[in-house]
Amino acid sequence: MGRRLRRLTAGTTACLAVALGISTGGPAAAPDATAQDAESAAWGQARQPDQLGLELIEANPVQVGDALTVRFRIHNPTDQAVEDLQVTTRRGDAVATTAEARTQLAHGSFPYFGASANPGPLGPGETREVSLTIPTGLEGEGSLAMTEAGIYPLLYTLTGTRDGEPVSLSEDRTLLDLAPKPDEKEQGEAAGPAAEDAENIEETENSEPHDLSVIYPITDTVDIVPGDTGGQSLILESDHLAQSLSPGGRLDRLVDSYLSHDLQGAACAALDPALLSVVERMEDGYTVHDSRPSVAHQTKRLRDSWFNDDADYRGETGQGSRAAGEWLAKIKQLDCVMAMPWADADPSAVRNVDNAWLDHEAFAHGAEIIERLAGRPLASNALVGSKGYVTEDLGRPAVVADNSIWEGQALSFDASLGSLLAQTGTRPQTTAYSNPELRYDYRVDSVLARDLSAAAALRLGAQEEDTLAVLPATLEPATADQVLATGEAVLGDHTARAKPISALSLETNEAAEQGLPAGSPYVDPAAFDATQTGRVKQQAKYADELTKIMVNDPHIALTRYGFTQPLRHDLLTALSATRRTSLPTAKESEEASTRRLDANSNTLQELRSSVTLLPPGNVYTRVSESSPLLIVAENGLPLPVEATLEYQGPDNARLNTPERVRIPATGSITVNMTADLPEQTDRIRMELWLATPESDMISQPISIAVQTRAGILSVYGIGIAAALAVGLALLFKVGRKKKSET
C-alpha cells in the first residue's frame, strides 16, 4: 500500500511539474556555436544585410517602350558620413518560371546596366529621397533595352565612398512585370483566330488559358489572457485587435481588398476560427488586462484577503465591440470561405501531440464557427495552414506545396510561387518547403519591391501552368491589393481563367504511396521540437483528466467539455505558426508560446488542486467500531465532481469508504466512513486522497489520526492511576499535617 502511495504521489508531482511543463531543473544551457550556425543556415544566408537603407517607395506600371519612374528613400543608420552616392539600375534576362524568378532574386546576375542617379553625400542618421526615370526601350540614355513583354529581374544598387574608399552600401531586388502595348495585344488576339495554317491553329490551341485559383488567408494574433475557461468573460492582453478591426486597420482593409477585387469566383478566403471566435466575443464586450482572476472557487481565510487592493482592479473596458460587429457583418459578404487550423496551429506539431480532443479543436471544430459566422458552407474541407506541408494524415485534406510529400489527399500549389508570395510584407515568412540555398532575410529588399515581385510571380505562374496561389497568413493589405489586381488583370486579358476552389480536384502523392516519409523536402527553421510538443502533450492529457473528473449537470448550462475547451485553445495558440515562420518575429513568438504554456500549466494546477480533502484539525476518537469518521471534500470547479476515496495505512487497517463521492459544484460535502482497525494499537495514522474512478490521484493526500479503544482504555487507565496517585498524595499530606499539630 505504501508503494502505491509513493507511486501516486510521484505521479501528482510529475503532473504539477513535468506533465504541466514546469521546469524543475536549473537554467537551460546556452546553445553552442554549432547549433546557432545550423539555425542561421536554416533561415538562410543567400544574401547579407545592407549597410545603408535603400527603400523603393514608388514605381509606376510599365508597358513595352514606356519609361519606368521609381522613387527611393535612402537612410544612413551609421555614425559615419558617406559621399559620392550613386543609385544604379541593372536587369537580368526575362524569367520563364517562378523557380527561375526565385533563383534570380537570391543569386541572379544582372549584366545589363540602366540609368543612374547621384543623390549626393549623406551624413549619419540622415534620410533623403531620390527619383529616377529609366527608359525601357531601345532609345534613350541609360535604357534597359527591354523590347519584349515579360517578367524581368531588376537590381537597384547603392554605392558610394567612405573615408575615401569605394563601398557597396545597399541593394534592392524586384521583378518587373513589363506589359505589352494594348495595340500589340489586340493585334495578336485578332491574328490568332484568323490563322488558317496548321502551325497557327496548333499555337492557338496551345495558348488556351490556364486555370487560376487564389486562397486568401485572414488571421491575426489572438492574445487572450492564458487560462481562459468556459463561461468566463473575454479578457485580452492588449486592444490591438480593436485597431485592426476598425476602419483602416489591417483586418478591415484585408476584407475590403477581397470584396473590392473581382476575380470571377477564383478567390476564396481562408478564415482562422480562433480569430472569428474572439471577434464574436468582443462584440459582446470584453476587458483588457494582463492577468485574469482565479476561476477556481477556494475557501479563503480572512487574513489572506488583507492588504490585497490589487484584486479589485479588473482592467480596462475594451474599445473594439462596435468594430467587431461591423467586421463580422463584412465576413458575411464573402463569397467563398475555407478553414485554417485553430489559431493557425502547425498541423504537424498538433498531430505529434497525438491527442484526439486537441486534433478535433485544431482541425474540425473551426468549421462550425466559420460556417455559422460567414453564413455559408465551406467551399472545400481542405485545411489551409501556414506551413505548407504535413508530416501525417490529418484525417482531412490539406493545402500543401507540390514539392512536399503528404499522406492522404491534398490540394497542392507551386512551391516557388508560394515562397515568393510568402516573402511579402513587414513580416516575410520563410517557407519550410523552400530551398535553403535561396533563403535569406527578405527584409533586405523593400516592402514595395517584394510586393511587386509577388504580383509579377502570380502572372508568371498563371502563364506557366494551372495555378493555385496561396497567399501568406501574414498578408498585409498593400500586398493583397497588388496581388489581387494582378489576378484581375490576368483573368481580364485571358492569360488565365477563373477556377473556383470547390472545383479543384484533390490529389494523392505517389512518393507517400511508395513509403517515403511525409513532410517538407527541406529543413523547417520554425519546426516545434520534441520538448515543446511534449509540454503540449502532457498539458493536453492533464486537461483531458480534468474534464473526466467532472460530470455534467442538467441544471448547469456549462458542460465539462465546454469548461476545459478554452484550455485546449491555449495549447493550440502556443503551437501557432503565423509569427513563428517569420524571422523578424520568430524569437518573440517562441517566447510567447513558452509564457502561454507556463500560464496554462498554472491554471490546470490551480483547477486540479481546487478539488481536495480538508485536513481535520484534531484526532478522531472512536468509542466503538461503528463510530463514524467524518471528512470534508471540497470542489472549487463549476461542475460536480465524482471521485473515490483512496487511502494508505497499516496493512491490517481498513477504511470502509463510499463507492463514489459526488461533490457539488463550487461546494463541499461531508463524507461518512467507518474503519476496521487493530485493537491492540493505541493510535493509527492514515493517508487519504481523492481519486478518479480509474484510481488516478486528484487531490494531495492528507493525514488523519484515529484513536482506537485500546488507546482510549490506556488513556483512561493512566487517568485513573494519576487520579489515585493525586488522592493518595493529598491524604498523605493531610495525615502528616494532623500528626504535626498533635
pLDDT digits (tens, 9 = 90+) for 179-230: 998 866 555 544 444 443 434 434 434 568 999 999 999 999 999 999 999 9
On whether both 584 and 624 belong to a single domain, the answer is: no
Q: Look at residue 477 in the predicted model and tell me its pLDDT.
A: 98
Q: Look at residue 83 in the predicted model and tell me its pLDDT.
A: 94
Q: Is residue 198 part of a domain?
A: no
Average pLDDT over residues 221-247: 96
H or E stretch at 722: helix 709-741
By the 10 Å C-beta count (0-12 exposed, 13-18 middle, 19+ buried), 722 is classed as exposed
On whether both 108 and 158 belong to a single domain, the answer is: yes
Per DSSP, the residues of 7-49 read HHHHHHHHIIIIITT---SSPPPPPPHHHHHHHHHHH--SSPP
Question: CA 335: distance to chain centroid?
Answer: 27
- With a cut of 80, say whether residue 567 has pLDDT above it: yes
**Domain-terminating residue out of 132, 157, 180:** 180
Q: Is residue 718 part of a domain?
A: no
pLDDT in tens, 93-117: 999 999 999 999 999 999 999 999 9
Distances (CA, A) of 550 to 559, 663, 693: 9, 9, 11
How many structural domains are present in the chain?
A: 3
- Please give the model's pTM, rounded to 2 decimal places: 0.87
On whether both 449 and 544 belong to a single domain, the answer is: yes
- With a cut of 90, say whether residue 30 has pLDDT above it: no
On whether both 118 and 267 belong to a single domain, the answer is: no
Whole-number Å distance between alpha carbons of 563 and 552: 10
Grid coordinates representing 208 are: 488556351
Nearest to 468 by CA among 458, 453, 479: 458
Q: Is residue 444 part of a domain?
A: yes
On whether both 333 and 460 belong to a single domain, the answer is: yes
Instruction: Give the SS3 label for residue 281.
Output: helix
Query: Is 254 in contact with 218 (CB distance < 8 Å)?
Result: yes
Strand ranges inside 307-357, DSSP E: 316-317, 337-339
Q: Is residue 37 part of a domain?
A: no
On whether both 376 and 496 belong to a single domain, the answer is: yes
On whether both 545 and 623 belong to a single domain, the answer is: no
**Better-predicted residue by pLDDT, 425 or 138:** 425
**Better-predicted residue by pLDDT, 667 or 305:** 667
Cell numbers 488583370: residue: 489
Q: Look at residue 201 in the predicted model and tell me its pLDDT.
A: 35
- With a cut of 60, say whether residue 36 has pLDDT above it: no
Whole-number Å distance between alpha carbons of 157 and 172: 7
On whether both 389 and 449 belong to a single domain, the answer is: yes
On whether both 166 and 215 belong to a single domain, the answer is: no
Q: Is residue 466 part of a domain?
A: yes
Average pLDDT over residues 674-689: 78
- With a cut of 90, say whether residue 558 has pLDDT above it: yes
Grid coordinates representing 697 are: 490521484
Average pLDDT over residues 443-471: 97
| Residue 330 burial (CB count, 10 A) | 16
pLDDT in tens, 353-385: 999 999 999 999 999 999 999 999 999 999 999
Q: Is residue 127 part of a domain?
A: yes
On whether both 71 and 128 belong to a single domain, the answer is: yes
- With a cut of 80, say whether residue 32 has pLDDT above it: no
Average pLDDT over residues 626-644: 89
**Domain-terminating residue out of 596, 628, 657:** 596
At 423, which CATH number? 3.20.20.370
Average pLDDT over residues 249-278: 98
Q: Is residue 366 part of a domain?
A: yes
By the 10 Å C-beta count (0-12 exposed, 13-18 middle, 19+ buried), 587 is classed as exposed
Please report, for the chain, how many H helices and E strands are present, in that order: 20, 27
Q: What percent of the chain has pLDDT over 70?
A: 82
Give the residue numbers spanning the domain of 689: 615-713
Question: What is the SS3 string spanning 78-113?
Answer: CCCCEEEEEEEEEECCCECCHHHHHHHHHHCCCCEE
Q: Look at residue 200 in the predicted model and tell me its pLDDT.
A: 41
Q: Is residue 305 part of a domain?
A: no
At 654, which CATH number? 2.60.40.10
CA quadruple 90, 91, 92, 98: dihedral positive or negative? positive
Whole-number Å distance between alpha carbons of 541 and 357: 10
Whole-number Å distance between alpha carbons of 100 and 91: 14
On whether both 677 and 531 belong to a single domain, the answer is: no
On whether both 391 and 428 belong to a single domain, the answer is: yes
